[in-house]
């Protein structure tokens, strides 16, 4: 079984990404995979509640005190012994210790076509509002490997969606979310199949063996 740990943050987030990943493990999009842990920083957050209601194992690692957060988070991740770690609305820079323990196995999804509309403070409706304010005709989502900067690691997959003249942050966000829910399991499947090779900033997708 290919084991996935999902990391979520505080009070942000709806938990749709972890729900979709768990669904993908059961509906054939991610064969032989399962979500073994959902780790959040606040008990009772929507994402943690949704994971628990879905029957997924949930764990809370408080971000306070900050001094030993990295040690406690790493311990919780290691307990789950995941093959891959998927950030799902995780709002912090991942501690170096966690990054070092799982090289090439930590993914994030961002609701825009990076490097546009990414970086600190670019999350949720802020992203889609910025997209509309700028007047771009196309946005989308990006799945990328995680490095020590916000929304910065090598890009695995991107899916574009159109921005319509009368879009609101909500309407374009819903279109992007549907693309995210297709892209994230697809990227995890490629990782699980050993088909992602990182070459500097580039991720080569290898053909099926």
User: How far apart are CB 160 and ligand GRF at their closest, in Å?
Assistant: 15
> Strands, DSSP E only, in the chain?
2-7, 33-40, 58-60, 84-87, 106-110, 138-145, 155-162, 196-199, 202-205
Spatial CA neighbour of 24 closest among 146, 149, 192: 192
Say which of 110, 128, 144, 181 is annotated catalytic.
110
Phi, psi of 150 (to 5 degrees): -65, 130
List the structure tokens of 104: 């090439």
Nearer to ligand GRF, 15 or 185 (CB): 15
Q: Which residues bind ligand GRF (CB under 6 A)?
A: 13-17, 47, 88-89, 109-111, 180
Q: In what order do the strands lie in the sheet with 155-162?
A: 58-60, 33-40, 2-7, 84-87, 106-110, 138-145, 155-162
Nearer to ligand GRF, 71 or 82 (CB): 82
Nearer to ligand GRF, 88 or 188 (CB): 88
Is residue 144 part of the annotated active site? The answer reads: no
User: How far apart are CB 19 and ligand GRF at their closest, in Å?
Assistant: 7
Compute CA 190 distance to the chain's CA centroid, rounded to the nearest angstrom: 15
Spatial CA neighbour of 156 closest among 207, 118, 104, 90: 104
Nearer to ligand GRF, 17 or 152 (CB): 17
Spatial CA neighbour of 21 closest among 8, 42, 4, 44: 4
User: How far apart are CB 91 and ligand GRF at their closest, in Å?
Assistant: 8
User: How far apart are CB 6 and ligand GRF at their closest, in Å?
Assistant: 9
Catalytic residues: 110
């Amino acid at each position: 079984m290919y084991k996935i740990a999902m990391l979520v943050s505080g009070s942000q987030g709806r938990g749709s990404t972890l729900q979709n990943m768990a669904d993908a493990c059961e509906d054939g999009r991610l064969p032989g995979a399962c979500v073994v842990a959902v780790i959040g920083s606040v008990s009772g957050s929507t994402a943690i509640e949704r994971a628990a209601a879905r029957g997924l194992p949930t764990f809370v690692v408080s971000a306070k005190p900050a001094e030993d957060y990295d040690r406690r988070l790493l311990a919780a991740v290691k307990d789950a012994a995941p093959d891959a770690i998927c950030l799902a609305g995780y709002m912090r820079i991942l501690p170096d210790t966690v990054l070092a323990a799982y090289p090439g196995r930590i993914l994030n999804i961002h609701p825009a076509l990076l490097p546009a509309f990414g970086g600190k403070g670019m999350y949720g409706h802020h992203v889609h509002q910025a997209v509309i304010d700028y007047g771009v005709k196309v946005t989308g989502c990006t799945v990328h490997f995680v490095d020590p900067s916000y929304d910065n690691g090598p890009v695995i997959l991107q899916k574009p969606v159109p921005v319509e003249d009368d879009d609101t942050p909500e309407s374009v966000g819903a279109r992007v979310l549907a693309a995210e829910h297709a892209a994230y399991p697809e990227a995890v499947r490629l990782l699980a199949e050993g088909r992602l090779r990182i070459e500097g900033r580039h991720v080569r997708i290898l053909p099926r063996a």
